[in-house]
Structure 1
Amino acid sequence: MSTTPASTEYATEFAGRTVLVTGAASGIGLATARRLGAGGANVVVADFNAEGAEKAAAELRAAGAEAAAVELDVTRPESVEAAVTFAVDTYGALHLAVNNAGIGGPSAPTGAYDIDAYQRVVRTNLDGVFYSMRYELPAILAAGRGGSIVNVASILGSVGFAGSPAYVAAKHGVVGLTKAAAAEYAAQGVRINAVGPGFIDTPLLKTMDEAAYQGLVALHPAGRLGRSEEVAELIVFLLSDRASFVAGSYHLVDGAYTAV
């Protein structure tokens, strides 16, 4: 039997529920928004790129989903609060959230890392997740039917990577923040988990020198890089009632990168 949401019972598993997805204009965020929309959710597509968010929401609507776009800068608490308010005002409540927005940052050793760049990466990748949960959680509780949040960390939330001290520190922080919040809200019916994607095959990576690209592939025992849709499937599972006893956990999606 096919497991695509359009052709099975999963087509309506999120019916009546509203989800906010940050960083949803492209990559993992967009793949997740598509999958949630196909599952019947009201999808709020939030992104720093307002034009990209509008385009993504239009794509979801054209596919038959209910979707709306909102501009969001996760480094600004007031912007996050406004996005959550937009979701509640537009669809009546907020039930689910995917905190995916993030940036990479420059590559340099810790002793030479640009301080402004370090702060920018941490503000976006860690503080942005905190701000998001800070406003999402009260809204989810107010909806009165429990809920679920998935924070997108990285494989670098469990291992190091030379030249990326800011990114590694932020993603480790996301894992810890997820566990703390999960312990606080599990008894209130809100499940909070994190996922750790490995290197995902995107158009950006296709611009790499072929030797460098193949070197990256060689780091994965699976023999290839991941796809955004593969990460989205795990995120959607964790959001769903199928994962009803999964809380405070951190799931890697990395083709065995961290296993060796």
Structure 2
Amino acid sequence: MEETDFDDVIRGNLKGTFMMCKQFLLSLEKFNTNCNDTRATEVNISSGTVIKCVAKVSDYIASKFGVVGITKTLAVEYGKHEVRCNAVLPGLTTTPLLTTFTRDFLQAIEEGIPMKRLAKADKIAKCILSWHSTRVRT
């Protein structure tokens, strides 16, 4: 792995998450000076690889562990202000990135999945929205 590749992954996954969280929290402060009673939810996307690591993607796994760390820290810092912070850890998901993997590799992954298929981004998003809507207090 080249250092520049490592930096690119950390910048995209970890710094990108940090910047998104920062803007989200700044917008809460803008509309509600003390963040109290916002009942907001902030959801970050990490990866199932933080539970079951795989070889040759240490840059990716390090970045996704960092996403979990940011999320847990924000939960501690903002929970008292009624802001929920959660991380979702999906498995391998059908995205354009998968074109870099061989079909044999993908089939081997699918065999280890109970439903024998990869996740889909839209299904993950619907699951998050469904979970959130059942927990919004009025």
Shorter-chain TM range is 0.7 to 0.9
1:150·1:238 contact (CA, 8 Å) conserved in 2? no
Aligned to 1:118: 6
**1:129 matched to 2:2:** no
**Is the 1:157–1:172 contact (alpha carbons within 8 Å) kept by the matching residues of 2?**
yes
Q: Which residue is equivalent to 1:177?
A: 70
Change (3 A) 1:211 1:203: same
Q: CA deviation at 1:219?
A: 2.1
2-structure distance, mates of 1:203, 1:118: 19
Deviation at 1:244, TM superposition (A): 4.5
Paired with 1:200 and 1:117, the residues of 2 have a C-alpha distance of 21
Runs of 4+ residues deviating >6 angstroms = none
* Structure 2 CA distance for partners of 1:123 and 1:204, relative to 1, 3 Å: closer
TM-score (norm 1): 0.46
Partners of 1:164 and 1:199 in 2: how far apart?
13
Over the residues paired in the alignment, what is the CA RMSD in angstroms? 2.2
Q: C-alpha separation between the residues in 1 aligned to 2:63 and 2:100?
A: 26
- Paired residue for 2:125? 232
Cα distance change on mapping 1:207 and 1:185 into 2, 3 Å: closer
Asked if the contact 2:39/2:83 (under 8 Å) is kept, the reply is: yes
Equivalent residue pairs, number: 132
Amino acid at match of 2:25: L
Aligned residue among 42, 57, 60 for 1:167: 60
Which runs of 5 or more residues in structure 1 are unaligned? Answer: 1-112, 246-260
Give the Cα–Cα distance (whole angstroms) in 2 for the partners of residues 195 and 203 of structure 1: 20
* Aligned-pair CA distance for 1:208: 5.3
Cross-structure match for 1:34: none
Give 1:211's aligned residue: 104
Gap change, CA 1:183 and 1:197, over 3 Å in 2: same
Deviations for 1:212-232, whole angstroms, at most 9, x for unmatched residues?
332221121221112222211
Normalised by the length of structure 2, the TM-score is 0.82
Q: How does 1:148-167 map to 2 (within 5 A)?
A: 148-167=41-60
Aligned counterpart, 1:141 = 29
Which one has the bigger helix percentage?
A: 2
Give the Cα–Cα distance (whole angstroms) in 2 for the partners of residues 209 and 129 of structure 1.
29
Q: Tell me how far apart the structure 2 counterparts of residues 143 and 118 of structure 1 sit (CA, whole Å).
A: 37
SS of 2:119 mapped into structure 1: coil
Question: Matches of 1:147 and 1:169 in 2, distance apart?
Answer: 27
Q: How far 1:148 sits from its partner (Å)?
A: 1.2
Partner of 1:78: none
Which 5+ residue runs of structure 2 have no aligned equivalent?
Answer: 33-37
- The offset of 1:181, in angstroms, is 0.2
CA contact (8 A) 1:153 1:195 kept: yes
SS at match of 1:178: helix
